[in-house]
């Protein structure tokens, strides 16, 4: 068993081009990096860089064409490890007829949580994300921001060892973003890990320990934010934007 929380080893992914028989499109080209326990790891890149494909492979939604991927120290084929991964997508597709509590209880039961554990965990999470007074309300009445608050609660419901956040600040107000940052900090403190995929450079600068930059499916940079920007001081949003722009242009 490997020690890394997640590991990509020479991963490639090609898709067939729908309009040109026999042609393929390379989404990932030999990507290698590992996420360590207690680390907040960022993945950034321009559109069509391969970020979504990377997440799909990690979450078992598609298979790599080449290379190896390990999730929680085990091969992707061991799907039982998915119960120890939390995932927050930028565009949720929750059943609109379920209430907030029903949704969390449903996802918790799918992950193997007991009814007694859910009775304690669900109200506590709803209180934390500011939805305690809407627990019995159908999701169909919710705004984008409220759905994102619910998605945050759902992603940490099982107290995952790896929390995957895909553009998590989309639609969140300032108070909800503070809760998100607190949760990310708690993951780090407890020795658990976070994989953050985001275009919000300010969030990346604030919370990430290391960063992978993807450009056209290739790993263009891997390292700490300080090594990417100014080693003499803490990375700022502006310095990170300048450094990333230079990488994207090369």
Q: What is the pLDDT of residues 57-94, one digit of tens each?
A: 999 999 999 999 999 999 999 989 999 999 998 888 89
Over residues 203-250, the pLDDT tens digits come to 888 899 999 999 999 999 999 888 887 666 566 777 888 888 889 987
Asked whether residue 152 is assigned to any structural domain, the reply reads yes
Q: How many domains does the chain have?
A: 1
* Domain span at 190: 6-93+144-249
Instruction: Read off the tokens for 217.
Output: 């499916």
Is the predicted pLDDT of residue 153 greater than 70, yes or no? yes
CATH number of the structural domain spanning residue 206: 3.40.50.300
Asked whether residue 122 is assigned to any structural domain, the reply reads no
Asked whether residue 98 is assigned to any structural domain, the reply reads no
In the prediction, which pLDDT does 228 show? 82
What does residue 75 show for φ and ψ, rounded to 5 degrees? Answer: -60, 155
Asked whether residue 128 is assigned to any structural domain, the reply reads no
Distance CA 124, CA 101 (A): 11
Asked whether residue 130 is assigned to any structural domain, the reply reads no
Asked whether residue 105 is assigned to any structural domain, the reply reads no
Q: Give strand pairing partners of 63.
A: none
Asked whether residue 121 is assigned to any structural domain, the reply reads no
Asked whether residue 125 is assigned to any structural domain, the reply reads no
């Amino acid at each position: 068993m490997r020690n890394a929380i997640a590991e990509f080893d020479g991963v490639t992914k090609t898709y067939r081009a729908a309009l040109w028989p026999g042609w393929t499109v390379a989404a990932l080209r030999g990507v290698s990096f590992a996420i360590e326990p207690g680390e907040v790891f960022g993945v950034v890149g321009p559109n069509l860089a391969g970020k979504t494909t990377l997440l799909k492979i990690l979450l078992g939604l598609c298979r790599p064409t080449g290379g190896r991927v390990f999730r929680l120290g085990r091969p992707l084929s061991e799907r039982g490890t998915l119960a120890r991964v939390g995932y927050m997508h930028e565009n949720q597709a929750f059943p609109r007829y379920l209430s907030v509590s029903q949704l969390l209880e449903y996802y918790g039961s799918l992950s193997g949580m007991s009814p007694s554990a859910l009775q304690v965990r669900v109200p506590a999470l709803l209180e934390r994300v500011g939805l305690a007074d809407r627990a019995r309300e159908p999701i169909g009445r919710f705004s984008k921001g409220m759905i994102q608050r619910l998605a945050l609660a759902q992603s940490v419901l099982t107290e995952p060892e790896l929390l995957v956040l895909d553009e998590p600040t989309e639609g969140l107000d300032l108070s909800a973003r503070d809760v998100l940052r607190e949760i990310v900090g708690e993951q780090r403190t407890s020795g658990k890990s976070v994989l953050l995929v985001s275009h919000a450079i300010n969030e990346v600068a604030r919370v990430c320990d290391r960063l992978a930059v993807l450009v056209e499916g290739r790993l263009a940079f891997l390292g700490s934010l300080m090594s990417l920007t100014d080693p003499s001081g803490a990375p700022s949003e502006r310095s990170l934007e300048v450094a990333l722009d230079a990488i994207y242009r090369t």
